Structure 1
């Protein structure tokens, strides 16, 4: 059978999990529909998911649809858990994007559709909740074509004239052929042509119905089976797979959810993992609604593998595709503190385990203050972390006030060097570095102006790795983004031994010398170059009654927002602009009172902007290479 790894995505409360339940019920996987409100759905298994009626963790369940095995991945809809969606997108063959027939296109709907189209993932749209009062499928379809994709086409029934118009718009070759021989394009051929454009991510069929009543589900199932392409797989190719989820078995063993793009894996087989390898001790594959043990798994499938020491994002074998950077990074942070001071150690260990499952948690430990902070997308994540720590680890925690995560950009060019055997350098290494700004989005680029063979490669690698690690905290304590670091000087003492072959560390350079010296040289160069602190910004679209424009403008001014455009039409004012990420919660909180409850605001990450006024600082968690005396006391236990 063919395999289709299908994602169900939506803005929160559009009915995504209810649609998953209906698809499973129609396929005969469950005998009775679960309820989100009652906490009885198949894919929401966490206690907090059932209590709040939202999806927090992506869940996988399988069912057969004709000759296709569908691995259905139910993803979170709340924007606080966008990282979970991001990981799922890296393993999908197709997606169903769910909209509410009442609320229509919402903020998260736009974000998801933009990303799906950018990745070229085939998408079907399902307008749900036709049974609800206020449902207006015509209005929602117009919103879809205006705000999501101009290549939407209503299905069930399929209007052949609309299909012809759409195909002619998308493909000049089709238009030429159709004008020459229109009778050759029978309904089956038109559907085949549409199927090709859907698979290419260019055409987007739209279905209408209700997950609760079952209306429109048969047509959607037909679209899933016949319009979405099954995943390409090369079972005989080299091993390549992506870990998109990690959970722990009751005994503490890691279980990795892996999508295999090529090759196969068997129980007791050793598989390459980055620079090392791991041995698979058990395999489960998804069949008919549950995970069942299997001796092996091949390309195109999703499986649960035990025995591997992995994190989310790790690759098995060769790298193919992933999900890094699809959405904005988390822009908020909070300090997590144990209710009982004696739990500081267990809390750090528990948070480290959670970071294995979610790399964007961004764990950061301050040894001096004995504080651990985590990164956040929003306040709801605090509840999830708190509930998880209580339920799984028996730890009670509190949180500090949420703060903004800033970044630093290099302002100019700076250089520094310390030579081996010359004061005040106490290390057996020569390191010279030049630091300069890089292009936006380029990350940290490490270059050489010394000959690669002038010293052991392990020493060069030690400098490069230390540079990237050190730049996690710049002059003001924030991560330094987008810069070029060039190694300009190098030198070392060759390995020395005593007469009996005993290694003499006091006269021989080691990688440790380069790791210890690099932060001092790098930060000296960075201090000469200078950095500016940037805060995260959101782009906003705010709609409100035109007669409330005064109070709305005052609210935005107080929040340091910068409106770029203001358009008034039919009694409604629409403002677009930029706002500091830290202020979005404040505007959301006060907007109802400023607009008689009629105002709405959508926001999305829009990069960084230099901070106005005094630059905020963040306490350091390293040994502070900006202070030579303090640094050497930590590293050498002497000055």
Structure 2
């Protein structure tokens, strides 16, 4: 049953609609699309101003249709001459060999094209949880995003993850419900799940129109049962006559076309205007002054303007529909990108930090000094490192000398490139608000801030844009070159890979001497192995996949450390006291500003009873308690940084198996310096030694990664899967939910109602044979999830699916800890 909607005055409004049909062919030929292609190198910067620029990304769960939709966008925009197909392995956006072999996106690819006299910088992101770093750094520089939803599966687990990533940066979004041509596709149910699972206000602007189930399909029915799309804003019917989707025709939609669908479209438009009136004041004036209180007479342009305002304010999400694989709905989606998603000018000014952790806004002005963020680095065999940058102010010019405020180094721009997936075009400049690629930067990494080398104000202030969060790796494996002569090639390849992907970590085990690499998952490290062998031509093997555990302490410890050594004929001395204890919620909530969080630990450095950070002495030379050698001549910043480095070094290796420590509270006090004998290296070594000694006293123990697991199964497999998760895999089942509900009132949060068309009206029968599934939510140790994909297929006869993500680290039992220690040490 549909919810009732009323006008702002509380009375029903008359329905009037002009019956005259208008047929217009939009984007109907390659010539029109190619006319938009006026953005080539020399004219591009002049042809499209900042208001006509859209920096967008496509985000979704794996296999929702992101790359398929991107390929159609490029085809209709005239960038490609034929539609790339994932099954054929000829897609433009998935150009890596590993991507084409597996049929999934691994590397976020960027491409620039034009549509409707606008420039679109598009980033196609991966949907697999192992490559969440690619999504994170893409979302960091986006102005808007298109979320693709599988109309059959609905809102899936990784969709919730990427949605939260976009919400963290307040990215305006539109949604595209895909795969509505397939059996089980349910538009209304997917809209309800957006409201229920994503906690977003969906605004339905299109409805799918299906052929009658009992009718014989026309020969030219390229979309299967999906006949057309009803545009509720224009009240038009959108039809595609040819199989490649180039010929889009709009006709006015009336009751003569189909009475049932027309009545539903009227309800949909009424709901759209009503919801917009709740969220936007300007359309209320239009509703009464221009439409005489008639929902159907509100001008389409007024609705578009209101949709844009509420989308930019993140109050609601316009929802479109279609079937990208069948070439239905992509052109209206591109139009929606232009109409509803923001230009760089519509976004808040970037926030940068300067000295003393003060913040500063970076206005988007071409006439201002350059400020850019490096958000991605790739390695090209011929060109070397390619650094992707988003310019937030000023202009990035060819041959410009830059200063990296993160690494404190100057670098020279050799070339500027515009990327078209793996193809490039050389350009003379990158303007504010745009994305480009720099060739020639040797030391710049993901998250670094770039300014002009002569911008002394920014350099002195140490201006840095907000960095990009890098997730902690959960798996690791040993890397063994075939011979000594192969070691250097492997090492060079690892340098390139870790620079490309900051979520990869490479280190050497001190006990075994093995070279280890850690990543986000099994597939992540499998791709690394493929790239080492196929792309970098390295002769190497990778060992057994292992879990990257963490360590902590259950008790507390206090250690007094003294460092006194002679290095190359020079004495180095320092003393300190280290207090260490388990981090509990009470201490974590302490508002003392002298504590800082780093690598999951709470750290503090004190000297002579007062916090070192709180010392307001303007003298750059900090003297400690007197010593026979006289006062220290080290700068205050150097002493603090040395102590901080020592803390991180001491916490980097635990006492049980050498894994990094977390969930600890560590304080350095009673630091004693010895004049010229005290160096920054001595301070760091002394603090690190004190941390290690305190750890030995504080009952060290192992922590294992805990995963949030969502398993989707049919009803008759629930018992088997729950038993496996809670028994064999040592998991804790949190609950279960079903996606069988199709009643919009079931997702009514408080007094708010949303419009979601009943799928029984859109599709004849039981939602095209859709069989509801149940989602089992559980928390399971990562070590128990190895090989779960094969096990789930066996348990459910191939019908089950699952997704998981790291949610933190949990303590393991003593018995389990002994097993892990024996396994890791080879006993």
TM-score using structure 2 length: 0.67
**Superposition deviation, residue 206 in structure 1:** 1.5
Q: Of 647, 650, 660, which residue of structure 2 is paired with 1:470?
A: 650
> Bigger relative contact order, structure 1 or 2, given CA contacts below 8 A and separation 6+?
2
Distance in 1, Cα, partners of 2:167 & 2:134: 18
Asked if 1:217 corresponds to 2:330, the answer is: yes
Match of 1:164 in 2: 273
Structure 1 residues 417 and 139, CA gap change in structure 2 (3 angstroms):
same
- C-alpha separation in 1, matches of 2:73 and 2:561: 66
Q: CA deviation at 1:154?
A: 2.0
1:491 aligns with 2:669: no
Tell me which residue corresponds to 2:176.
126
Bigger Cα displacement from structure 2, 391-400 vs 59-68: 391-400
- Quote the residue 2:379 is aligned against: 248
Equivalence for 1:612: 813
Q: Contact 1:245 / 1:256 at 8 angstroms: preserved in 2?
A: yes
CA displacement 1:413-456 (0-9 Å, x = unmatched): 43322357799xx8422222223444299334332233562242
Equivalent position of 1:306 in the other structure: 439
Distance (whole Å) between structure 1 residues aligned to residue 337 and residue 417 of structure 2: 21
Alpha-carbon distance in structure 2 between the residues aligned to 1:464 and 1:266 = 38
- Tell me, what secondary structure is at the counterpart of 1:161? helix
Contact kept, 8 Å, 1:386 with 1:396, in 2: the verdict is: no
User: 1:505 corresponds to which residue?
Assistant: none
- Deviation track 1:116-168 (CA, whole Å, cap 9, x = no partner) reads 23321111111223344443334433333333344112223134322233335
CA distance in 2, matches of 1:98, 1:435: 47
Do the aligned residues in 1 keep the contact of 2:283 with 2:303 (CA within 8 Å)?
no
- Tell me the distance in 1 between the aligned counterparts of 2:774 and 2:407: 56
SS at match of 1:268: coil
1:445-464 alignment, distance < 5 Å: 445-450=603-608, 453-454=622-623, 455=632, 456=634, 457=636, 458-464=638-644
Give 2:681's aligned residue: 512
Q: Residue 73 of structure 1: CA displacement?
A: 0.7
User: Larger deviation: 11-20 or 391-400?
Assistant: 391-400
- CA displacement 1:453-505 (0-9 Å, x = unmatched): 2242323321211211331112222212244433312233333xxxxxxxxxx
- Is 1:434 aligned with 2:579? yes
Query: 2 CA distance for matches of 1:128 and 1:567?
Result: 23
Asked if 1:564 is matched to 2:734, the reply is: yes
**Residue number among 393, 411, 429 corresponding to 1:296 in the alignment:** 429
After TM superposition, list the pairs within 5 Å mapping 1:48-127 onto structure 2.
48-127=98-177
Measured after TM superposition, the shift of residue 256 of structure 1 is: 0.6
Q: Could you report, residue by residue, the CA deviation over 1:357-378 in whole angstroms, capped at 9, with x for unpaired residues?
A: 1111111212542312222222
Pairing partner for 1:481 from 646, 662, 679? 662
Shift of 1:63: 0.8
Counterpart in 2 of 1:271? 402
CA distance in 2, matches of 1:192, 1:165: 15
CA contact (8 A) 1:129 1:210 kept: yes
Quote how far apart the aligned CAs of 1:546 are. 4.2
Check conservation: 2:402, 2:450, Cα contact below 8 A.
yes
Change (3 A) 1:281 1:18: same
Corresponding residue of 2:314: 201
Match of 2:93 in 1: 43
The 3-state SS of whatever aligns with 1:480 is coil
Aligned partner (choices 31, 34, 37) of residue 84 of structure 2: 34
Which whole-Å CA distance do the structure 2 matches of 1:200 and 1:402 have between them? 45
- Corresponding residue number in structure 1 for 2:465: 320
In the other structure, the counterpart of 2:303 is 190
Q: Is the 8 A contact 1:413 1:436 kept in 2?
A: yes
Q: Secondary structure of the equivalent of 2:92?
A: coil
Q: CA deviation at 1:23?
A: 0.8
2:408 pairs with 1:408: no
Q: Residue 446 of structure 1 contacts residue 486 of structure 1 at CA under 8 Å; is this kept in 2?
A: yes
Q: What is the RMSD computed on CA atoms of the aligned residues?
A: 3.1
Q: For residues 181-235 of structure 1, give each alpha carbon's deviation from its aligned partner in whole angstroms, at most 9, with x where no partner exists.
A: 7848654333222211111222111111232333112211111011000113322
Match of 1:577 in 2: 778
Q: Taking structure 1 as reference, are residues 246 and 511 closer, same or farther at Cα in structure 2, changes over 3 Å only?
A: same
Preserved contact between residue 140 and residue 169 of structure 2 (Cα < 8 Å): no
What is the SS of the residue equivalent to 1:359? Answer: coil
Q: Which residue, out of 539, 544, 552, partners 2:721?
A: 552
Change (3 A) 1:406 1:183: farther
Moved more, 39-48 or 547-556: 547-556
Q: 1:294 to 1:592 in 2, by over 3 A?
A: closer
Cα 1:421–1:544 change in 2 (3 A) is closer
The structure 1 residue matched to 2:537, chosen from 385, 394, 402, is 394
Residue of 589, 611, 621 corresponding to 2:790: 589
Q: Would the aligned equivalents of 1:267 and 1:280 in 2 still touch at CA under 8 Å?
A: no
Cα 1:263/1:470, change in 2 over 3 Å: farther
Find the aligned partners of 1:412 and 1:252 in 2 and give their Cα distance.
53
The more displaced of 476-485 and 553-562 is: 476-485
| In structure 1, C-alpha distance between the alignment counterparts of 2:793 and 2:64, rounded to whole Å | 22
Higher mean alpha-carbon deviation, 28-37 vs 527-536, is at 527-536
Which secondary structure does the structure 1 equivalent of 2:604 belong to? strand
Label 1:47 to 1:603 Cα distance change in 2 as closer, same or farther (>3 A). Answer: closer
* Aligned ranges 1:277-292 → 2 under 5 Å: 277-286=409-418, 291-292=424-425
SS of aligned partner of 2:336: helix
- Alpha-carbon distance in structure 1 between the residues aligned to 2:140 and 2:316: 21
Map of 2:392 onto structure 1? 261
Range 6-15 or range 445-454, more displaced = 445-454
Shift in alpha-carbon separation, 1:582–1:37, aligned structure 2, 3 A:
same
Structure 2 unaligned regions, length at least 5? 1-48, 207-230, 233-267, 346-363, 452-462, 590-595, 616-621, 624-631, 741-771, 823-827
Distance 1:312 1:149, change over 3 A: same
1:144 aligned partner: 194
Deviates more, 1:355-364 or 1:304-313: 304-313
Q: Structure 1 residues 130 and 199, CA, compared in 2 at 3 Å: closer, same or farther?
A: same
Whether the 8 Å CA contact 2:417–2:439 is kept in 1: the answer is no
User: Structure 1 pair 329/460, CA: closer, same or farther in 2 (3 Å)?
Assistant: closer
Distance in 2, matches of 1:569 and 1:584, equals 25
2:523 paired with 1:380 = yes
Provide the residue aligned with 2:478 in structure 1: 335
Secondary structure (helix, strand or coil) at the match of 1:363 reads: strand
Secondary structure at 1:591's aligned position in 2? helix
Q: Shift of residue 604 of structure 1?
A: 2.9
* TM-score (normalizing by structure 1): 0.86
- Give structure 1 stretches of 5+ with no counterpart: 496-507, 620-639
